Structure 1
């Protein structure tokens, strides 16, 4: 079994026990037993298996494995398999049924499920042959997704704040390119919305929508508000990464994705992006044209002013409350992590084999580790923006950090550090975003004044 399938099976197992392990309040007597019994009665699409249900004993075993080994404890031990070119008709019909049950399954997953479920003998299926037959039968991933496009949708809203966070990227507007002011560069907005209150727990513009930007936004949101019970997002590359699944497992967060090609499930964050287009974007472009807003830092400052000075204080059309008031009215205790703890959890991970001289290579760089690790496969944990520090782990034990021998690349090739911004003097005009910033700052003063009045009234 490859690591990808292990991650998928661990993710499925975690999804079933997440309502228990991600709970921030203790379970009432009998509540755990009732939940496990209810979960065992449901039907599931289980990665790597043709079974449709799980027993209470299995769920109890997964809970025990997670509590002992957390995310890694949920990973099954894999096996290798062989492939061939022949495919029996009965096996094809079962493959079609499995594909229609869950269109996002890959051909490799279907083969694994067929063989592990005893439908096909190991080594008798070839991925290319099965893929071709599925296309001929109208059961390709594209065909099945198109057939499901007409299904309806049900409105959903979390019962309390910070139970569910929706997040996504939006290609919002263009700023002067930091490297060439004559050109324009796209600024991409990453936003996290609390499903219950519609409060934006964090929003920030970046130059790209890669995994490190999402990690940065999530880390900042968790530091400000605490750890939610659920993340809800689409199937974008950053949101479907094994790294995000691993982060959620370590933080005890349930990760959910909307159905493929069905953005309606993310309606709240999509509607908020449309509001950004009609309210914030025109005002930002007006200041860009005046030369008063030219850098990413200035754009993010304007966004913060618009959020706290306007959006969070206005009445929301659906809730009939402002996001700030709705969030504050239902305060609840939150699990929290320190910055140091979050930094550890968000570190990237790679596996490398140590050579006979005690060295490993990563991103073209060479590092030296303890000689006792020679010829062993070790896990390297690191910050993708700083490859000078490299943690070394083997068999769950942390060894001394690797020593840099040759550092040809200071950061991971999959990331790009933020470029230095150009500085442009503003012309002093006052605009909507300036007024929003003034209101945002006035709220701090108003809160102090009302508090003083409350103390005076009590004294009387």
Structure 2
């Protein structure tokens, strides 16, 4: 079994047990048994298997393996590779037509119809092989039955405490002067993470793109400040659906969940926040952009921070009746945290490469030297995409000395850079723009933020008891 399939299976198994292992509050008597039975009662599309259900005993084994060895404990043990039987296209098309005709038909029923109809020879198709091809063609029984289910009404949901659930999403917010193309503008994209219970923005930042490294950057900053949430809720975009994000959540014990495709209602809170950004923050930002007071991402993010802490967080929210800051600080919840060194290591990217006979590996156009005893082996490389000069070398679960750069053409991964031509438009004059003079909304919000800091009492460590020292003769 190759590395990719092992990762997919580990991701599936973690998705099953995430509601249990990501739980940071103690469970009530009998709650664990109820959760296991509920998870086991559902049907799934299991990677590398024709089975559709998982027993409670298997779930208990997954939980034990995860708590013992983390993400690696969820990977299956290597097995000898087996040859996969291919299916002729005409036979596969007939199977697809039979499934579409009656989505309730099982794989065994479809094989029976193919054999009895003399479309294929008896015993020539394995159920697991046909099931895999049907899933790849998008006609699995689960998918077809789900699409045929009529939509039902939805009910509002809210987490029961602060930092139980974080919602996140990107927004194409506004345009800034392009730093590399004078006379043109470049799109600034906002990424925000909101606490579901308090509506507190645990982190928000503008970037030039909406790729995975921007999501990782914001998530890491939010965790460093507030701790590890139980659940990270997002949409099905490319950045959110990456296997790397799932691995990060698995190692941190976070339950990663996605809203259903084409159903943004599940992310209503973060979407409402973006609408407030459009009506409150965006006009004020454009005012300063036209005046030349905001010309880059750093200045824009400073204005965003002032707006959040000096206005949004201390403004009463219409849904909760409290300010986000007051609702969040009223909780007595103790957050789970990890050391910064461990957190940095968890966010490293991973690539697999085979070491050539000279003890070198080629990665992203660069050449690195690794220990000679790894020649001919397939090693795992772990690295920070913002610094390709340092790459960790792992083999068979053991870390070896870091790779030595021999030919470093690229010091930064191409995915963390934004192409200069992206999100650019011509600057057009904006007639009717009102100049409000010296009055700046963000300046006033920043002053409000500083006033809030003054209201926070300072505490100091208690002084030694001088009188007691005198009694001791010191």
TM range (shorter): 0.7 to 0.9
Distance 1:290 1:148 in 2: 53
Structure-1 separation of matches of 2:137 and 2:391: 42
Cα 1:100–1:186 change in 2 (3 A) is farther
Indicate the residue corresponding to 2:87 in structure 1.
Answer: 84
- Once the two structures are TM-superposed, the CA of residue 88 in structure 1 deviates from its matched residue by 8.0
C-alpha change, 1:56 and 1:126, in structure 2 (3 Å) is closer
> In structure 2, how many angstroms separate the alpha carbons of the residues matched to 1:100 and 1:436?
62
1:442 maps to 2:454: no
How far apart are 1:299 and its partner, in Å? Answer: 0.4
Residue in 1 that maps onto 2:71: 71
String of CA shifts for 1:336-360, please: whole Å, max 9, x gaps: 1222111100000000000111100
Aligned to 1:431: 440
Q: Which residue of 2 aligns with 1:290?
A: 291
Hey, what's the Cα distance between the residues in 2 that align with 1:22 and 1:129? Answer: 29
Residue pair 1:233, 1:258 contacting (<8 A) in 2 also: yes
Q: Distance in 1 between matches of 2:104 and 2:397?
A: 37
Moved more, 123-132 or 337-346: 123-132
Task: Please say which of residues 6-15 and 210-219 is displaced more in the overlay.
Answer: 6-15
Distance 1:165 1:201 in 2: 8
Segment of structure 1 superposing worse, 326-335 or 148-157: 148-157
Deviations 1:45-81 (A, max 9, x none): 2323454432221111111221233112212357552
Q: Contact between 1:65 and 1:73, CA under 8 Å: does it hold in 2?
A: yes
Q: 5 Å matches for 1:171-320? A: 171-320=172-321
- After TM superposition, the structure 1 stretch with the greater mean CA deviation from structure 2, 176-185 or 91-100, is 91-100
Please state how far the C-alpha of 1:13 moved relative to its aligned partner.
Answer: 1.6
TM-score between both structures, scaled by the size of structure 2: 0.81
Q: How far apart, CA to CA, are the structure 1 residues paired with 2:284 and 2:167?
A: 25
State the 1:290 CA deviation.
Answer: 0.7
Secondary structure (helix, strand or coil) at the match of 1:333 reads coil
Q: Deviations over 1:134-168 (max 9, x none)?
A: 6xx9x998x98875684432211111111100001
Question: How far, CA to CA, are the matches of 1:161 and 1:93 in structure 2?
Answer: 49
Q: Distance in 2 between matches of 1:204 and 1:99?
A: 47
The alpha-carbon distance between structure 1 residues 125 and 194, as it changes in their structure 2 partners (threshold 3 A), is closer
Change (3 A) 1:365 1:292: same
> Structure 1: which 5+ runs fail to align?
102-117, 420-426, 453-460
Question: In the alignment, what sits opposite 1:383?
Answer: 384
**Could you tell me which residue of structure 2 aligns to residue 39 of structure 1?**
39
Query: TM-score when scaled to structure 1?
Result: 0.83
- Structure 2: which 5+ residue stretches go unaligned? 107-123, 421-435, 461-474
- For 1:38 and 1:146, the matched residues in 2 are separated by 23
CA-atom RMSD, angstroms?
Answer: 3.3
Q: CA deviation at 1:275?
A: 0.6
- Aligned residue for 1:310, secondary structure, equals helix
Whole-Å separation in 2 of the counterparts to 1:336 and 1:124: 45
Q: Which moved more, 1:52-61 or 1:255-264?
A: 52-61
Please say if residues 36 and 59 of structure 2, whose CA atoms lie closer than 8 Å, have aligned partners that are also in contact. yes
The Cα offsets for residues 196-252 of structure 1, whole Å up to 9 and x where unpaired, read as: 111100000001111111000000000000000001001111100000010001000
State the shift of 1:7 in Å: 3.3
Q: In structure 2, how many angstroms separate the alpha carbons of the residues matched to 1:158 and 1:367? A: 48
Quick one: structure 1 residues 285 and 366, their matched pair in 2 at CA, closer, same or farther if it must change by over 3 Å? same
Q: How many pairs align? A: 422
Greater CA drift, 1-10 or 252-261: 1-10
Contact in 2 for aligned 1:167/1:193 (Cα 8 Å): yes
**Equivalent residue number for residue 456 of structure 1:** none
How far, CA to CA, are the matches of 1:144 and 1:38 in structure 2? 20
CA distance in 2, matches of 1:145, 1:57: 27
1:413 is aligned to 2:422? no
Say which is worse superposed, 152-161 or 269-278, in terms of deviation: 152-161
Q: Distance in 1 between matches of 2:387 and 2:50?
A: 44
Q: Does 259-268 or 84-93 show the bigger shift? A: 84-93
Pick which of 90-99 and 73-82 moved more.
Answer: 90-99
Alpha-carbon distance change, 378 to 98 in structure 1, aligned in 2, over 3 angstroms: farther
Does residue 162 (structure 1) correspond to residue 167 (structure 2)? The answer is no
CA shift at 1:25, angstroms? 3.7
